[in-house]
Amino acid sequence: MEIIDANTSTLTNYEVLKLLTSLKGKGDQARNQSGSATITYETIKYLEGTPASVQTEGCFKTFLEKVKKFGLTKKEKLMLMNLRPQTAVEISLVLKIVQAPEEERLTEEQTDELIQLIQNTLPEKML
Amino acid sequence: MFVLALVKQTVRVPAEKFDRDVDQAISEELNLKFANKVVMDVGLCIALWDIVKRGESFILPGDSGHHTKVEFRYVVFRPFMDQILVGRIKNCDKSAVQVTLGFFDDIFISGQNLQNNSKFDEKEHTWVWEYESEDGKHELFMDTGEEIRFKVIEECFIDTTPSAPGSEAPDSSLDPIKDNKKMSYRIQASIKESGLGLLTWWMG
């Protein structure tokens, strides 16, 4: 095999879950065999325990549109969508990463605003 | 945590699948071949995303299948450095805490990457974070099965294929046997920051 590009793009958990669920539904022969079926099942099981299980394309669209003003990087937005953080300490964890760690990215008010935005646009997973 | 890898590969479709749609048959073969395999410097393969390009199919003397060169995108588990993920504790031992995501469990948080003042409790066989606050010392146990938030700090791919005696390492990109190589993919993680560690530690 020849790897042309090991990372052409990054996927959200939601996209992976959607693909795997559709594969499972198809029930093609290959899926009944060994490794392929196992990994599909295990990955679905994991993703169903994450916020991805209740997300939709629509909520991402609204979220991405509204989150623009915070000037976040792609990786940060990806983590926000995958993790759906709800507290200030989680937000600072996600945002600390890319830039200088000692520097706070957002003010306290902005963090609160971002938490509000996440709560309003991304659906909460019921336990 | 998931990325798309673009790969070129010649796929053999066995004769019994000739009645099927070509793309469908190739997809099945690719899922069979790569799902649940670790590819060097790429990650753990999960499932086929799509076929980008399909070349002409060839048949070879003495082989009933057809061979087709395809370019395809595959969903791969490969978290980036510093990515925050949530998993469950699988096991604790003296040197590290092992975390599992269900489909992947080679994630290790070594002793020095745990919260400060963490100790290994021999009796309970778990790690304990001795957290001091104004109202005294708290012992926070890291029990198996608990949900844990961690940060990816290091990854490593190791070739675990048994090596043939006296064989030189050839240019691996041209080596057809490469597909059968056994790889292991390990992730080192850290929870040495506020917000990291068991989810219950940081709730309200």
Interval A13-70: pLDDT, tens: 999 999 998 887 665 544 455 567 888 889 999 999 999 999 999 999 999 999 998 8
Distance CA B134, CA B144 (A): 28
Q: Are residues A35 and A91 in the same domain?
A: no
Write out pLDDT tens, residues B43-64. Answer: 999 999 999 999 999 999 999 9
Interface of A with B in 24-83 (CB under 8 A): 28-31, 33-36, 38-40, 42-43, 45-46, 50, 75, 79, 82-83
Domains and CATH numbers, chain B: 2-77 (3.30.1490.120), 84-202 (2.40.50.140)
Q: Are residues A77 and A102 in the same domain?
A: yes
Distance CA B40, CA B60 (A): 29
Query: What token pair was written down for B130?
Result: 């001795």
Distance CA B139, CA B124 (A): 12
- H or E segment and range at residue A111: helix A108-121
Number of domains in chain A: 2
Phi/psi zone of residue B51: left (φ > 0), alpha (ψ -120 to 50 degrees), beta? beta
- H or E segment and range at residue B45: strand B43-59
**Which one of B32, B75, B102 has the shortest CB-CB distance to A45?**
B102
pTM of the complete model: 0.86
ipTM of the complex: 0.86
Residue ranges of alpha helices (H) inside chain B are: 22-34
CA-based end-to-end distance of chain A: 43
Answer whether residue A79 is part of any domain: yes
Q: What is the pLDDT of residue B179?
A: 53
Q: What amino acid is encoded at A73 in this protein?
A: T
Instruction: Name the residue range of residue A80's domain.
Output: 54-121
Answer whether residue A58 is part of any domain: yes
Cβ(A14)–Cβ(A60) under 8 Å? yes
Q: Are residues A102 and A116 in the same domain?
A: yes
A97: domain CATH number is: 1.20.1250.40
